[in-house]
Amino acid sequence: MSVRQSLLAILDQGPCYGYQLRSEFDRRTGSTWPLNVGQIYNTLERLERDGLVEKGETDDQGHVYWQITPAGSAEVRAWLDSPVERGQGTRDELAVKLAVAATLPGVDVAAVIQTQRRASLAQLQSLQRTKYAGGDPDGPQELAWSLVVDSMIFAAEAEVRWLDHTEQRLALHPEHAMVLELSTERPKRGRPAREVAERAR
């Protein structure tokens, strides 16, 4: 899961300070992947080093606002235009990517879904070709190998079904109704509100 690209995508909507950025990420992902503020600032420092964000104004409470650079905006567009490469992590980058993309103004979420669907179908076809190219299906090694491939095939099939479901759900909502503007409520330092944490359970 790319925290880096998600934070950049949120900053592409407008400048934020660290705790605000964490709160915006939580809002868009239902707090399914809580980030600690140290992780946020470490990521911001790396993004600044890479020329993708820069420090902006400081408000009267000492909050330093970070803003995206043109190079950062280009990276956000490249991220949204490319399929997610499946890793071995337990957190689902694709679900978070679509949740964040669906709440950003001006993003063609249907196009993001189509890009991913093409990549997922290509992966599924490749896995199916691999399965049927095996040797003796009754041998223990081939059986064990085919069980792993079957698992991957089922996961790919489930992903395609989920993409179809997501596309149908999003089609029921006008595009403007999904946009989450940056919250005017400034998050407080410390742990997130109890109801947010409970809702994530």
For the chain, what are the domain ranges?
1-86+179-201, 107-177
The helix (H) or strand (E) run that includes residue 67 is strand 64-68
Dihedral sign for Cα 123, 129, 131, 133, please.
Answer: negative
- The residue-averaged pLDDT of 139-152 equals 76
Residue 134 to residue 144: CA distance in whole angstroms? 12
pLDDT surpassing 80 at residue 1: no
pLDDT surpassing 80 at residue 163: yes
CA distances from 64 to 9, 17, 188 (A): 18, 5, 14
Is 179 exposed, middle or buried, given 0-12, 13-18 or 19+ CB atoms closer than 10 A?
A: middle
- The alpha-helical segments, DSSP class H, found in 50-193 are 70-81, 93-102, 109-132, 140-171, 175-178
pLDDT surpassing 60 at residue 90: no
Instruction: Give helix 93-102 / helix 3-11 axis angle, nearest 10°.
Output: 0
CATH level 2 (architecture), domain 1-86+179-201: Orthogonal Bundle (1.10)
Q: What are phi and psi of 103, to 5 degrees?
A: -100, 0
The helix (H) or strand (E) run that includes residue 20 is helix 18-29
pLDDT (0 to 100) of residue 149:
82
Q: What is the pLDDT of residues 14-42, one digit of tens each?
A: 999 999 999 888 877 766 677 888 999 99
Is 82 exposed, middle or buried, given 0-12, 13-18 or 19+ CB atoms closer than 10 A?
A: middle
pLDDT (0 to 100) of residue 2:
80
CB 103 within 8 A of CB 180: yes
